[in-house]
Each structure stands twice: as structure tokens, then as C-alpha cells.
């Protein structure tokens, strides 16, 4: 394995999780071992101390009924019976002088500790100590106890079996732990691999997508766990990106198409005038047509810019108090002559006052797009009715006409940029009016909806919150 690969393995989540599993396992096992060890040690010491105290009690009872000589002999016999390498007895005077003992050949290195004698004589009935015989690495538990008014008994017991048990315990623990830590690391690695396999699937899909295949999706299992949720969210994000890209592509196709028509016309008029035109009036007509086409182009570009601005959200809108009823009344007044010319009855039903925070210029543009459409798509003799009301802290604008209506086929698409219904081909327009109206409504935190029946008319309803949503 190359150095780079090794480094990257060490950086993987699986590796780190495995280390954590194994580390936590090892740490908790060590804590458990130490607790056990301490418990066993104290239990065994307690046991030894009980044995030593029992010996002392036996000899002091004996001393009550027998002479000291009999007690000394009993001690020698007791040491031989237990094993001279296991137990020893020493009889001391109160100043620590040894006046009798069991066989001490094995215990030559063990002295009488002055401090222990002092402690014993001060206030204690017995004193324990543990000493290690350096050459043998063996521990001995020693008890000093007052046996009679002038006699101190020193009893020692080898803790050899106790040390052997603890050494065996340590050995078994270390080998078991080593085995279990290896197993825990293996299980940890397996579990970590399983946990991150979902993330790897997302990564692989992301890599394929960056390679150009936006149709790829992450396979979703049915566990419903966090990884599944990640996969579902990732797929939803991809769906959204794909839809947006399709929309952008369609929009740029439509835009290219809509830009080409006026430019082709401008070029055609200029070419015809140059090749055939002789008089000044013909050149004037060409200039007028060019201005007209340029205005159309500028209108389209400005509308696109306005849509982008409205879609960029609330941060890009002006916040000012708008007298909405007044703005709608003004718009109705402006469109009155056009409606009248076409023989359409335009009526406005407005409350005395309806105010909210928003961008006046944008709101005016939205209104004029809706009114323009209503009059444009309503044949002479029809009517257009505009009304404003308030509902649950929202301002509701409704523009209702008795016009040609929108076919169910067109209805889902009318808010798309450059989309124009089949019925509207005979009318002027570039297919951006409703896109802008919706962008403005949404930019103000509201929305626009439509209901329509072909040949009966359409109703556009806009709801706007009374205050702009807060900056995010
Ligand atoms: P246009 O420039 O074509 O009017 P819009 O974006 O304003 O573009 O409208 C998109 C399409 O929605 C129109 O082409 C038309 O088919 C339909 N439409 C909009 N308003 C009305 C209406 N009031 N009545 C019938 N159809 C409408």
C-alpha cells in the first residue's frame, strides 16, 4: 500500500470509528480490571488478616490456661503443620527482643520493626504490616499483637498463593483483553464500514454527476435511517437542480428565439431600405421601425432584469409603506381609456384603505401586467373586475375577466418565462408578464393563483402579507 493510500486510510471515518470502538472498549476493560484487582486484593488481604488474628486469639486463650513454654511449643508445632515456609511465630519482650520463635531458617531477612512495636504499645491491640522480601519478590503479611502483659507475638504469613493468583489473573486478563480488543476492532471496522457505505454511495453518485451524468441517483434502502434520509435529500436536491437546469435551458432557448425575431426584422428592414429605398421618407420609416423593434428588445431585457431582481428576494426590494387601494385605483384609472376603446367595462371595488410594506414600482408593474392581460384577452362587450380585500393579515387582489380563458393544457405553464398560450398568438406580447407578476408576488412573500374556464373567463388572485418577510 502506498504512503498516500495509507495516509488516506488513516483519515477515513471508518478507521477513526474503529479506533474509537477499540479505544473505548480497551479503556472500559482496564477500568473493570483495576476495580476487580483492587477488590480481590482487599478481599484476600482481609482473609489473611482474619487468619492471623485467629492464630493470635488461639495463643492468647492458650496462655490463659497454660504456661508460656506450652504456648511456644504449640507455636512451633503449628508452624511445622502449616509449613515452615508459610508461617512463622516470634515471641518478643516489650522492648522488641526475641526470646523464642518457630523455625526461622526461611525468614532470616525479616526483622522486628521498632515503629510497629511502638505503635502497638501506644494504643493498639494489634498492628499489621506487609513487607516484601527483596530476593524472593514475595510478600509477607505480618501481625504484631500483645499476647500477655509482657509478651508480644509476631506472626507472619507468606502471601505466595495470593501473589500467584493475582499473577494468573493478570495473565488471563491481558491475553483475553488482547483477543477481545482485536475482535472489537474487527467488529468496529465492520460496523463503521456498514455505517459509512451509504455516505460512500452518495459520494460515488456525486462523482458521477461531476463527470456529467445528472440523471444518476443514489440508491435508497428502506431502513429509514440517517443515511437513507441523506440519500433522499440528496436525490431531491438533484431533482431540483435538474428541473432548474431544464428550465434555464428552455428559457435560454426561448430567449434566443425571441431575440432573433426582432433582430432579423431590423436587419431585413435595413437591408430592403438600403437596396431599394431612395427617398428620405423610406429611410425615416426604417428608423421608426428600428426604434420600435429596439423598444421591444429593451422591454424584454428590462423585464428579464426585473424578474431576476424580484426573484433575488426581499433583500433587493424597497421597503416603503404602500397605499395599495390607492395604487390599484390609479392603475384602473390608467387602463380605463384602453378598456373603453375596446368596449370593455372595467370596474374597481376597493376598500377605503389598505396599506402594507413593499416596493411600489414593482407592485405597479405587477398590476399593470394583470390589467393589460385581462383587457387584452377579453373580447369587446366583456368586463374586467378588480377588487381588493383583506384576509388574515393578508391583502388579497383579484382580477376577474370574462375573456377567452386559458385551456387546461396551457394553465400549468402560463407562469413560465416566454410561455404564450395558443389562443394568445394573435395578441402582442412576449410571454414574460405573468412570470414577472409571480416573481414580484413571491418576492413580497405572497403568491399568485389562477382559475380559468375557456371561453368564460379567468380570475387571477394575488395574496400579499401586510409586511415584507424579514431579511434572512
Ligand atoms: P403574454 O405576453 O403572452 O401576455 P403573459 O406572461 O402575460 O404573456 O401571459 C402568458 C400567457 O397566459 C398568455 O400568452 C395567455 O395565453 C395566458 N393569459 C394570461 N392572462 C390571461 C387572461 N387574462 N386571459 C386568458 N389568458 C391569459
- Asked if pLDDT for residue 222 goes beyond 80, the answer is no
CA atoms of 427 and 174, how far apart (whole Å): 90
Q: How far is the CA of 400 from the centre of ligand 1 (A)?
A: 13
Q: Which of 224-228, 368-372, 427-431 has the highest mean pLDDT?
A: 368-372
- Asked if pLDDT for residue 338 goes beyond 90, the answer is yes
For atom 15 of ligand 1, the residue with the nearest CA is 421
Cβ(140)–Cβ(157) below 8 Å = yes
Q: How far is the CA of 412 from the centre of ligand 1 (A)?
A: 12
- Asked if pLDDT for residue 6 goes beyond 50, the answer is no
**Of 309, 430, 417, which Cα lies nearest the Cα of 361?**
309
Atom of ligand 1 nearest to the CA of 423: 16
CA dihedral 180, 183, 184, 190 (to 10 degrees): -170
Q: How far is the CA of 269 from the centre of ligand 1 (A)?
A: 29
Atom of ligand 1 nearest to the CA of 403: 24
To test the pocket of ligand 1, the residue of 367, 434, 448, 461 to mutate (highest count of ligand atoms within 8 Å of its CB) is 434
To test the pocket of ligand 1, the residue of 398, 406, 411, 440 to mutate (highest count of ligand atoms within 8 Å of its CB) is 406
Average pLDDT over residues 150-165: 86
pLDDT at 197: 81
For atom 1 of ligand 1, the residue with the nearest CA is 431
Confidence of residue 324 (pLDDT cuts 50, 70, 90): very high
Task: Find the residues whose C-beta lies inside 6 A of ligand 1.
Answer: 369, 373-374, 377, 401, 403-406, 410, 414, 419-421, 423-424, 429-435, 458
CA atoms of 400 and 336, how far apart (whole Å): 15
- Residues 253, 258, 262: CA angle, nearest 5 degrees: 145
Q: How far is the CA of 415 from the centre of ligand 1 (A)?
A: 9
DSSP assignment string, 45-57:
HHHHHHHHHHHHH
**Tens digits of residue pLDDT in 171-206:** 998 898 889 888 888 888 888 888 788 788 888 888
- Asked if pLDDT for residue 453 goes beyond 90, the answer is yes
Confidence of residue 468 (pLDDT cuts 50, 70, 90): low
Q: How far is the CA of 342 from the centre of ligand 1 (A)?
A: 18
> Is 464 strand, coil or helix?
strand
pLDDT at 469: 61
Candidate from 11-20, 289-298, 360-369 with smallest mean pLDDT? 11-20
**Tens digits of residue pLDDT in 37-96:** 899 888 888 988 999 999 899 998 998 888 889 989 999 998 999 888 889 999 999 888
CA dihedral 29, 30, 32, 35 (to 10 degrees): 170
- Asked if pLDDT for residue 5 goes beyond 80, the answer is no
To test the pocket of ligand 1, the residue of 400, 409, 421, 425 to mutate (highest count of ligand atoms within 8 Å of its CB) is 421
For atom 21 of ligand 1, the residue with the nearest CA is 373
- Asked if pLDDT for residue 10 goes beyond 90, the answer is no
Average pLDDT over residues 332-339: 96
To test the pocket of ligand 1, the residue of 414, 417, 427 to mutate (highest count of ligand atoms within 8 Å of its CB) is 414
Share above pLDDT 70 across residues of the chain, in percent, rounded to a whole number: 96
Output DSSP code: residue 469: P
Higher pLDDT, 7 or 351: 351
Helices (H), ranges, 66-152 = 68-82, 114-122
- Asked if pLDDT for residue 219 goes beyond 50, the answer is yes
- Beta-carbon contacts of 420 under 8 Å, excluding residues fewer than 6 positions away, are 429, 430, 431
Q: How far is the CA of 334 from the centre of ligand 1 (A)?
A: 20
Q: How far is the CA of 288 from the centre of ligand 1 (A)?
A: 28
Q: How far is the CA of 438 from the centre of ligand 1 (A)?
A: 13
Q: How far is the CA of 434 from the centre of ligand 1 (A)?
A: 7
Q: How far is the CA of 356 from the centre of ligand 1 (A)?
A: 27
Query: E strands within 122-256?
Result: 126-133, 138-148, 151-158
- Asked if pLDDT for residue 427 goes beyond 60, the answer is yes
What b/e sequence results for 258-274 when a residue is b if at least 16 CB atoms lie within 10 Å of its CB, and e otherwise? beeebeeebeebbeebe
To test the pocket of ligand 1, the residue of 300, 304, 377 to mutate (highest count of ligand atoms within 8 Å of its CB) is 377
- Asked if pLDDT for residue 255 goes beyond 90, the answer is no
For atom 3 of ligand 1, the residue with the nearest CA is 431
CA atoms of 404 and 456, how far apart (whole Å): 6
Output DSSP code: residue 224: -
Confidence of residue 386 (pLDDT cuts 50, 70, 90): very high
pLDDT at 67: 87
**Of 144, 138, 143, which Cα lies nearest the Cα of 161?**
138
Q: How far is the CA of 121 from the centre of ligand 1 (A)?
A: 114
Amino acid at each position: 500500500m502506498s504512503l498516500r493510500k495509507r495516509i488516506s486510510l488513516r483519515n477515513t471515518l471508518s478507521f477513526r470509528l474503529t479506533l474509537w470502538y477499540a479505544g473505548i472498549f480497551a479503556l472500559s476493560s482496564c477500568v473493570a480490571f483495576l476495580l476487580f484487582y483492587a477488590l480481590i486484593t482487599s478481599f484476600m488481604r482481609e482473609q489473611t488478616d482474619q487468619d492471623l488474628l485467629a492464630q493470635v486469639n488461639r495463643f492468647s486463650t492458650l496462655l490463659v490456661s497454660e504456661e508460656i513454654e506450652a504456648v511456644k511449643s504449640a507455636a512451633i508445632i503449628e508452624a511445622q503443620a502449616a509449613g515452615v515456609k508459610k508461617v512463622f511465630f516470634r515471641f518478643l519482650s516489650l522492648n522488641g527482643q526475641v526470646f523464642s520463635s518457630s523455625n526461622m531458617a526461611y525468614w532470616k531477612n525479616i526483622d522486628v520493626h521498632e515503629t510497629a512495636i511502638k505503635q502497638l504499645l501506644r494504643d493498639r491491640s494489634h498492628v499489621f504490616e506487609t513487607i516484601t522480601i527483596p530476593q524472593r519478590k514475595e510478600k509477607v503479611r505480618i501481625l504484631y499483637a500483645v499476647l500477655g502483659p509482657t509478651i508480644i507475638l509476631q506472626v507472619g504469613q507468606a502471601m505466595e498463593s495470593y501473589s500467584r493468583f493475582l499473577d494468573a489473573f493478570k495473565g488471563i486478563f491481558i491475553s483475553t483483553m488482547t483477543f477481545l480488543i482485536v475482535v472489537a476492532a474487527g467488529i468496529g471496522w465492520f460496523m463503521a464500514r456498514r455505517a459509512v457505505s451509504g455516505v460512500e454511495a452518495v459520494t460515488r453518485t456525486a462523482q458521477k454527476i461531476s463527470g456529467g451524468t445528472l440523471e444518476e441517483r443514489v440508491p435508497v434502502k428502506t431502513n429509514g435511517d440517517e443515511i437513507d434520509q441523506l440519500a433522499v435529500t440528496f436525490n431531491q436536491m438533484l431533482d431540483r437542480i435538474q428541473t432548474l437546469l431544464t428550465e434555464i435551458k428552455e428559457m435560454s432557448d426561448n430567449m434566443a428565439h425571441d431575440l432573433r425575431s426582432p433582430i432579423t426584422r431590423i436587419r431585413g428592414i435595413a437591408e430592403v431600405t438600403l437596396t431599394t429605398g431612395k427617398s428620405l421618407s423610406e429611410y425615416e420609416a426604417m428608423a421608426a421601425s428600428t426604434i420600435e423593434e429596439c423598444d421591444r428588445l429593451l422591454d424584454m431585457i428590462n423585464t428579464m432584469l426585473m424578474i431576476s431582481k424580484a426573484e433575488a428576494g426581499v433583500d433587493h426590494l424597497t421597503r416603503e409603506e404602500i397605499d395599495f387601494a390607492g395604487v390599484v385605483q390609479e392603475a384602473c384609472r390608467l387602463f380605463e381609456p384602453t378598456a373603453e376603446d375596446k368596449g370593455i367595462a372595467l370596474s374597481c371595488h376597493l376598500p377605503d384603505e389598505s396599506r402594507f410594506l413593499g416596493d411600489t414600482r414593482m407592485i405597479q408593474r405587477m398590476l399593470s401586467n394583470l390589467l393589460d392581460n385581462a383587457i387584452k384577452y377579453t373580447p369587446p362587450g366583456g368586463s374586467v373586475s378588480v377588487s381588493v380585500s383583506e384576509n388574515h393579515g393578508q391583502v388579497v387582489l383579484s382580477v376577474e375577466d370574462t375573456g377567452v380563458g386559458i385551456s387546461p393544457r396551457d394553465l400549468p405553464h402560463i407562469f413560465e418565462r416566454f410561455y404564450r398560450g395558443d389562443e394568445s398568438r394573435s395578441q402582442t406580447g412576449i410571454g414574460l408578464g405573468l412570470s414577472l407578476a409571480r416573481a414580484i408576488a413571491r418576492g413580497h412573500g405572497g403568491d399568485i393563483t389562477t382559475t380559468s374556464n375557456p371561453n368564460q373567463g379567468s380570475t387571477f388572485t394575488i395574496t400579499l402579507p401586510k409586511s415584507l418577510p424579514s431579511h434572512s
